[in-house]
Chain A
Amino acid sequence: MDRTYEVMFIVRPDMVEEELDKLISNLEAAVTGGKGTVKSVDKMGKRRLAYVVRKFMDGFYILLTVEGTGEMVHELERRLRVTEPVIKFITVRIDESQKRVDKIKALRATRVKRPPAPVEAPAAPATGSEAPASV
């Protein structure tokens, strides 16, 4: 019963690549320590922030998709709060919305296959008697 979460956080722009990788591996260790799995790490690159955060105008965005329990996320967030280079983070639970999207897609796939079937169905009960018009 693992839940899927999406953690997006912003790192200060004047960070070195290696320190960034060290930070990410630290967080991954926290995830695996809490018996979760890291599904993907996406470095979205440097972007301009919409408002000033801790006197920075740009930031390096990183998106982390993890699977685990709520306690694991709690621990992950605690670590993010403590690490100095991280200036903002947000955690979103995505398994419910993902389920909904998958359901809609599956429904759409079946709806495409259905049109040939109803064409035959009214024809079958309509011919209740074997010789409809010959008599």
Chain B
Amino acid sequence: MADEQPTAPAAAAPSAPPSAPRHERSDRGPRPGGRPGGGPRGDKKYFRRKKVCKFCVEKIDSINYKDVGLLRQFVAERGKIVPRRLSGVCTPHQRRVTNAIKQARNIALLPFAAGF
């Protein structure tokens, strides 16, 4: 036991430097790129290079609660609203989509919870 004690802090010392790169790798969440697959490709700082806002590209003006077909693309299988980082929609459009989905849910065009 007396022999183990000096080796324990010696073992602890080399483990301290690896914690610095480990901290970088586990820092996926707050980074703007988001997913670990797309980040280390090259530009770690830039935003999602593939996903563009569907509404900005196709210049869809009005997002209505009535067009269920359009809204269904932003609703998951169980009826949950798809987050912005997965659908790639820009903020003002995501807000309008969310409001439209909530209105559609109230008038029974979309379910609140589905797929049981």
Which residues of A does B touch, CB under 8 Å? Answer: 8, 10, 47, 49-51, 53, 59, 63, 88-90, 92, 97, 100-101, 104-105
| B74 is an interface residue with CB less than 8 A from chain A | no
Q: How far is the CA of A88 from the CA of B108 in the complex (A)?
A: 8
Residue picked from A8, A49, A101, A104, most chain B C-beta under 10 Å: A8
Ranked 5 nearest A-B pairs via Cβ: A50-B111, A49-B108, A90-B107, A101-B61, A50-B108
- Interface residues in B91-116 by Cβ distance below 8 A to A read 103, 105-112, 114
With contacts A101-B61, A101-B62, A104-B61 taken as known, whether A51 is within 8 angstroms of B112 at the C-beta atoms is yes
C-alpha gap A50/B62 in the complex (Å)? 23
Majority SS at the chain B contact face: loop
Can you name the residue of chain A whose Cβ is closest to the Cβ of B105? A50
A-side contacts of B108, CB under 8 Å: 10, 49-51, 53, 59, 88
**Which residues on B sit within 8 Å (CB–CB) of A47?**
109
Q: Which residues of A contact B103 (CB under 8 A)?
A: 90, 92
What's the minimum C-beta distance from B58 to chain A, rounded to whole angstroms? Answer: 13
Bound form: Cα–Cα A47–B103 in Å = 17
Cα distance A104–B92 in the bound complex, in angstroms: 15
CA gap between A10 and B105 in the complex, in Å? 13
What is the chain B residue whose CB lies nearest that of A108?
B59
| B107 close to A88 (CB less than 8 A) | yes
Question: Contacts of B112 on A, CB cut-off 8 Å?
Answer: 50-51
Q: How far is A62 from B111 in the complex, measured between Cα atoms in Å?
A: 19
Report the Cα distance A10→B108, complex, angstroms.
Answer: 9
- Residues on A with C-beta less than 8 A from B111 are 50-51
Q: Nearest-CB distance from A87 to chain B (Å)? A: 9
CB pair A90 B61 closer than 8 Å: no
By beta carbon, the residue of chain B nearest A97 is B62
Shortest CB distance A54–B (Å): 11
Of B61, B65, B107, B110, chain A has the most CB atoms within 10 Å of the CB of B107
Q: Which of B41-89 contact A (CB under 8 A)?
A: 61-62, 65-66
Q: Cβ of B65 and Cβ of A92 under 8 Å apart?
A: yes
Q: How far is the CA of A100 from the CA of B65 in the complex (A)?
A: 17
* Alpha-carbon distance A89/B109, docked complex (angstroms): 12
15 A-B pairs within 8 Å (CB atoms) are namely: A8-B107, A49-B108, A50-B105, A50-B108, A50-B110, A50-B111, A50-B112, A51-B108, A63-B66, A88-B106, A89-B107, A90-B103, A97-B62, A100-B61, A101-B62
